Amino acid sequence: MIKLTFSLLFLNLLLAFTSTSGDWELKKEEEGIRIYTGDKDAGIKKIKIETSINYPASNVLEILKDKEKYTNWVYKCSEAKLLKKVNENEYYHYQMTSAPWPIQDRDMIVHLKISENKSTGEYTLTGMGVPDYLPERSGRVRIKHYQTLWKITPITQNSCQVIYEMRVDPSGAIPAWLYNLGSTEGPLITAQNLRKEVEKRFH
């Protein structure tokens, strides 16, 4: 049962965090993907992913903006949809994470903003949970506290570094120690899947 419970622990990552001060501790490194944890906030650790992708930064950005396809690559994401497009650089989207019985599924609404550094070609995406944007749905626990940061920095014309940071409180009856215990598997799978999704789309 504990192993099944871990499938909930990252609540899709996908999307998680505005960076704060504090040291990062490397927890796992595999296939050029590095997973870090940071200082705890109310018992919940921060997570950071660092990796590189052999495609242009603009390709990775396109994948991140395509909310309807998050179910293809975000860990345990079972539903994702765009709610409102304010402009090309600002969105509201809905996301749900499936959980094993008897744990209830989690969902969240994220307000995402995108900025570009014209001189370096770096893209920054920041997301903040807005739990009251839609009424809560029966049978799902609404995530109340969620922050995310993506940075996509060109290395060459056809490769980029991707950094992803997150902090999320899963809400409901999941103790912080259990959430923290499994905090490398979900980010690793998400990073692996992101690479595959970029290659599939742009190969």
pLDDT in tens, 49-100: 999 999 999 999 999 999 999 999 998 899 999 999 999 999 999 999 887 7
Please report where in the chains the tokens 């997570």 appear, as a residue: 47
Whole-angstrom distance, CA of residue 161 vs CA of residue 155: 6
Please report where in the chains the tokens 């049962």 appear, as a residue: 1
CA distances from 125 to 18, 42, 72, 171, 196 (A): 10, 24, 20, 24, 20
Whole-angstrom distance, CA of residue 120 vs CA of residue 113: 18
> Region 117-130: what's the mean pLDDT?
96
User: Encoding tokens for residue 21?
Assistant: 């001060």
Residue 44, SS3?
strand
**Exposed / middle / buried, residue 139 (Cβ in 10 Å: 0-12, 13-18, 19+):** exposed
Distance of CA 114 to the CA centre of its chain: 15
pLDDT in tens, 103-116: 788 899 999 999 99
Kindly tell me if the per-residue pLDDT of 180 is higher than 90: no
pLDDT in tens, 5-45: 333 333 333 333 333 445 788 989 999 999 998 876 666 67
Q: How far apart are the first and last CA of the chain?
A: 39
DSSP letters of 105-146?
Answer: EEEEEEEEEEEEETTTTEEEEEEEE-TTSS---TTEEEP-EE
Task: State the pLDDT at residue 103.
Answer: 74
